[in-house]
Structure 1
C-alpha cells in the first residue's frame, strides 16, 4: 500500500489531544449509526454474524484513526458491539477534467484507492497494536475485498511482526490474491526476508506456483536479486530448474532481470548460490536464450565469468540468431559503467565467434565510448583494414576524450601490427576453445600470460 498516495495528510489534522477528544465524542454516535444502518439494511437485529457481507465505512474519523495508527482511537472506535469487519472506502470519486490541452477533454470520475479493510491498513503500515486489537475483536483474517489479503499486504510492505501476528491468528499462508500470487510471491524486497521466514514456519509451500506466470518463490527471489531469500528457499528444498510459463528457470530469471551498477553484486551472489546448488547453466527459455545470453545483455561481468567457468555454451544461438557476443556488443554504449570490456574479453578467451571484419566500422561507431571494448575486440584480429570510415565513426568529442587510444588505433592504417601481436594471435588461433584452461597450466610469467589473454593496455600496437 505504500505505493499508493496516502489519502490523509497527518499535517492537516489537529493536535493529538484534540484528535483524541474528537474520537471519544464521535465513537458512540458513529457506532450507533452504523449498527442501526446495518439492522435496517439486513432487516434483522444489529448483531453481526459470520458470513454476512461487511459494511462499508466512509467516515473520516475512523479512517484517520486507522491510517495514523492511533491505538487509543482504534480501541475506542472498535469497541464491544462495533463491527470489526468494516470495508473502508476512502473519500474519492471527484469529477476531474482529463485532457492534454490539444484534444477535447472529458470529465472523469476517478477513485484514489480501492476498497480495503482495517486489517489491511494496519498490517500494511506496521501498526501492530492496532492490528492485534482488531484481531482480538474477531476481524476476519483472510478477507480480501481489494484482491489481497491482509497477509499479502504485510508481506508486500515488509512488516514481519504484522505478518507473524496474522499467521498466529489463522491467516492462510498460501492464500491466492487476484493476481494469482501467494504471500511468498509478494516478498520482493530485501527487507521482506523475515516475512518469508514466518510464512515458511506457518506452512507456506516452497514450490507453490503463481497462477498467471507459474513462478515459484525462488523465481521471484532470483528475479529481484534477493540473496537472503534465495539461500532460505534453497534450504527449504526449492526446485532449482523448474521452468515458468516463459521457460525461465530461477537462474534464467536472475540473469534476465535488468540491473544497475548498484545491484550487480547482489545478482552475482544470487547466481553463485543457484549454480553452486546445481542450477542448469545451459537451460534456455522460450526464445532459446540461455543465462549467458541474458547476463551479456544485462552486462554483468561476474555472472558471465561464473557461467563460462561452469561450461555455458559460448556460441549458442537464440531464435533471433544472436550469440552472447552479439548481446554484449549491442549494449556497450549504454553499459559503460558495467565494464563491458571484461565480458568481451572473457567470451573471446572461451572461444566466442568474432565479428565479421567488414562490420568492424559499425561496431566502432556504436561501441566507441568504451575504448577498452574496442581494444580487446580488435586485438582478436591479426590485421585491421582501417579506412576513413573508421575515423568518421568516432565522434569528435569521444575522440578528444580518448585521444591517445584512438590515435594509436588509427595509426595502424599506415603501420602493420607488431610481431609480438602476430605471435599472440597465432597462439590464440592454435588454442581456440582451449585457451582458458591451457594457458594457466603453461607456467608462463604473469605479464606474458595476461598479454595472451588480451589484458588491457589502453593502446594499440
Structure 2
C-alpha cells in the first residue's frame, strides 16, 4: 500500500476528538452527521486551519491507563497504547455520506490516505456503500490497497448488500485471486464463508480459483461447509455449495486436519449440504486425523444443533452407506443424543438386534422421557421383546443392498410408503 500517509496527505498533528473544541469540534460533529453544508463552510475559512485530509485521534488515553493499571494489578501483561486514527474521508465513507464524501474529494482530500491502517475504500466496502465505493474509485482509490491487517477491499465485501461493491472493484482492476496476508484467503473463500451465493457466482465468472487453498488448507467449498450458521441461513449456504460443486469443486478436498467438506457440513448439521456432497460422490466413511467419520461428527454435535434437525443428517449418512456405530457404543450415543430421539431411531433401525439394558433407562433424563414418552417407552421395551418381522425384513434388505441401496431403490417401482420405510422414514416409535 506504500506509505500509510498516502499521497497528498498533510503532515499535521492529529485532532484529539476527546479534547476538541471550537471549529475542530464542529468539524468532527458535522462529519459524523453528514452535514455537507457545515463541512463546506468550515473548510472555506482558512483561519480555522481545517483540512479535508485532517487526522482525528479517537482513542482515549485515560481509558487505556485504567486498563493498564488493572492488568498490572492482576500481574498480567502490559498493554501498549495505540492511537485510533481516522480522517474525514473514512468517516463519511463508512457512513455512506456520498455528498459529503464528494465535497471532501473535490477539495483535495488524499483518497488513499490511511493513517489508521486502512483506506476510505476499505471502510466503504465494510459498510457495503456502493455509491461511496464508486466515487472513491473514480477519484483514483487503489482497489488493491492492503490494510494494516492484510486485507484488500475485495476481502471486506462480506455482506449480501456488498455485491455491487464487488462489481465496482473488479471493474476497476481488483485482482480476483488476491490473498489476505495472514489467512491466505482469496475473495472466493470470504464469500463462501459468509454464505454469499451472488458473490460466489460473480467471482467465479471473473476467474476465481475454485480450488485455491488458504493457510489452513481449506478450499472455498471447505470454508463454506465449515462455517456455523443459523437455520435461517441454511438455504444461502446450500446455494453457495451448490454453485461451487456444479462449477467443479472437489467434494473430497481435505484441509490440513484431513477434514473433508462432508466432515465439516456434518459438524454444522447441514442436511441439504451433506446430501449434495454425497450425491456428488463424497466418501461417506473417510476419517479425519482424529479418526472420526462424518457420522461421528453429527452425533457429537446433535444435542447442540437441534434446531438444524440433525436427525436428517444421520439418516442421510446411513442411507448412503455410513458404517454403523459399534453396538457397544450406542449407550454412549444415547447419553449424548437423547434430546434428539429421531437420531436414535435412525441408528436403532439399522440393527436387527441391540441389547437394551437398565443402563439405557438411566441414561435418559426423566424430562426427556416425559417429552418423548412414546418413543422412549418403545425403546426401553426392547429389553423384553424382539424387533418386529417388518423391521427385520427391512434390515435384511438393507444389508443385501449395502453400498448400492439408493441406486437400486431408484430403479424399483415400489409404493411410496414402502420406499420411505426402507429409507428409514421417521415414525417416532420402535417396533
Is TM-score (shorter-chain normalized) higher than 0.5? yes
Partner of residue 384, structure 1: 354
CA distance in 2 between counterparts of 1:283 and 1:212 reads 21
Equivalent residues in 2 for 1:56-75, closer than 5 Å: 56-58=14-16, 59-75=24-40
SS of alignment partner, residue 424 of structure 2: coil
Does the 8 Å CA contact 2:8/2:109 hold for their aligned counterparts? no
Gaps of 5+ in 1: 1-48
CA distance in 2 between counterparts of 1:433 and 1:164 reads 55
CA distance in 2 between counterparts of 1:327 and 1:287 reads 14
Equivalent residues in 2 for 1:156-171, closer than 5 Å: 156-171=126-141
SS of alignment partner, residue 417 of structure 1: coil
SS of alignment partner, residue 85 of structure 2: coil
How far did residue 201 of structure 1 move?
Answer: 1.2
Partner of residue 310, structure 1: 280
**In the alignment, structure 1 residue 400 sits paired with structure 2 residue 370:** yes
Does the 8 Å CA contact 1:94/1:109 hold for their aligned counterparts? no
> Which of the numbers 84, 101, 106 marks the counterpart of 2:52?
84
> Which of the numbers 353, 375, 380 marks the counterpart of 1:410?
380
Does the 8 Å CA contact 1:97/1:105 hold for their aligned counterparts? no
CA distance in 2 between counterparts of 1:248 and 1:105 reads 39
How far did residue 104 of structure 1 move?
Answer: 6.5
**In the alignment, structure 1 residue 298 sits paired with structure 2 residue 306:** no
Taking a change above 3 Å as real, the CA distance of residues 164 and 80 of structure 1, as seen in their structure-2 partners, is farther
Equivalent residues in 2 for 1:22-171, closer than 5 Å: 50=8, 53-58=11-16, 59-79=24-44, 82-90=50-58, 92-95=60-63, 97-98=66-67, 114-171=84-141
How far did residue 164 of structure 1 move?
Answer: 0.6
Q: How many residues align?
A: 411
How far did residue 298 of structure 1 move?
Answer: 0.5
CA distance in 2 between counterparts of 1:459 and 1:418 reads 12
Does the 8 Å CA contact 1:92/1:112 hold for their aligned counterparts? no
SS of alignment partner, residue 94 of structure 1: helix
Q: Normalising by the residue count of structure 2, what TM-score does the alignment of the two structures yield?
A: 0.91
Question: Structure 1 residues 426-435 or 111-120, which shifts more?
Answer: 111-120
SS of alignment partner, residue 75 of structure 1: helix
Partner of residue 254, structure 1: 224
Does the 8 Å CA contact 1:175/1:183 hold for their aligned counterparts? yes
Does the 8 Å CA contact 1:251/1:271 hold for their aligned counterparts? yes
Larger radius of gyration: 1
Does the 8 Å CA contact 1:382/1:422 hold for their aligned counterparts? yes
Deviations 1:143-173 (A, max 9, x none): 1111110000000111111111000000011
How far did residue 97 of structure 1 move?
Answer: 4.0
Q: Normalising by the residue count of structure 1, what TM-score does the alignment of the two structures yield?
A: 0.85
How far did residue 110 of structure 1 move?
Answer: 9.6
> Which of the numbers 383, 391, 398 marks the counterpart of 1:421?
391
Partner of residue 187, structure 2: 217
How far did residue 109 of structure 1 move?
Answer: 9.6
**In the alignment, structure 1 residue 438 sits paired with structure 2 residue 408:** yes
CA distance in 2 between counterparts of 1:409 and 1:109 reads 58
Partner of residue 21, structure 2: none
Equivalent residues in 2 for 1:260-275, closer than 5 Å: 260-275=230-245
Partner of residue 352, structure 1: 322
Partner of residue 195, structure 1: 165
Does the 8 Å CA contact 2:287/2:293 hold for their aligned counterparts? yes
> Which of the numbers 326, 330, 343 marks the counterpart of 2:296?
326
How far did residue 51 of structure 1 move?
Answer: 6.3
Does the 8 Å CA contact 2:10/2:53 hold for their aligned counterparts? no
How far did residue 111 of structure 1 move?
Answer: 7.7
What is the root-mean-square deviation in Å for CA atoms of aligned residues? Answer: 2.0
Deviations 1:224-266 (A, max 9, x none): 1111111111121211111111110000000001111121111
Taking a change above 3 Å as real, the CA distance of residues 410 and 104 of structure 1, as seen in their structure-2 partners, is closer
